[in-house]
Structures are given as structure tokens and as C-alpha cells.
């Protein structure tokens, strides 16, 4: 497997940026197939362990305390509850649990 490059020039970046979307998708799929089984999908579960009230001020994020949404906030889940949800996700076929 090739190592990722970190020495891209602005010209190279612009060439990639300006390529047609379908060509980019084709190249991405080709590279993906070189390194992964194209018939396998990773199943992940997303778990919101705390909803709303985040102290960060990301104006785009509905979790931010200063950003008005109609989403009702929840306190941080307890560790036993998070563990139970993770075990449930695993039993349902998830190979990864992402907590946010």
C-alpha cells in the first residue's frame, strides 16, 4: 500500500479540485477496490451520548449551547447505559459504535 502524500503543490490540488465529479468518484472507487472488498460494508451505529448544550460555539452545529434549535437536550448518558447500547449494537451486527 502506498503511503499518503503530504507534499501536494497548489497546482496539483487545483487539478484535482477542478476535475469532473464522476471522474473523481470513479478514481475513488478504483482505489477503494484495490485495498478493500467491494462487496463488504462496515455497519456502524451512531450514539448520541449527550444531546445539546455543548460549550463549543460552532455556529453550524445544532449541539452548540448558543445555537437555537427545537431539539430537546439530554444529560450525558451513564457508562452502564452506553455499554448496554454498544452491546445491543454489536448484537444487531454493528462492528463499530461512534459516540458523540
Given this model, what pLDDT does residue 27 score?
95
Rounded Cα distance between 40 and 52, Å, is: 34
Nearest CA to 44 among 88, 94, 78, 83? 94
Give mean pLDDT in consecutive 10-residue pieces for the chain, a chain of 100 residues: 88 97 96 92 90 73 69 85 96 92
Given this model, what pLDDT does residue 71 score?
73
Given this model, what pLDDT does residue 67 score?
66
Given this model, what pLDDT does residue 51 score?
79
Tally of domains in the chain = 2
Q: 62 and 46 in one domain?
A: yes
Domain-embedded: residue 2? no
Q: 95 and 51 in one domain?
A: yes
pTM over the 0.75 mark: no
Given this model, what pLDDT does residue 24 score?
97
Amino acid at each position: 500500500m502506498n503511503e499518503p502524500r503530504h507534499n501536494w503543490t497548489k497546482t496539483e490540488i487545483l487539478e484535482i479540485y477542478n476535475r469532473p465529479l464522476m471522474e473523481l468518484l470513479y478514481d475513488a472507487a478504483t482505489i477503494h477496490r484495490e485495498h478493500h472488498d467491494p462487496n463488504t460494508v462496515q455497519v456502524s451505529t451512531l450514539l448520541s451520548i449527550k444531546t445539546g448544550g455543548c460549550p463549543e460555539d460552532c455556529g453550524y452545529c445544532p449541539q452548540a449551547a448558543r445555537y437555537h434549535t427545537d431539539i430537546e437536550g439530554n444529560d450525558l448518558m451513564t457508562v452502564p447505559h452506553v455499554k448496554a447500547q454498544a452491546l445491543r449494537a454489536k448484537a444487531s451486527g454493528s462492528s463499530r459504535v461512534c459516540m458523540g
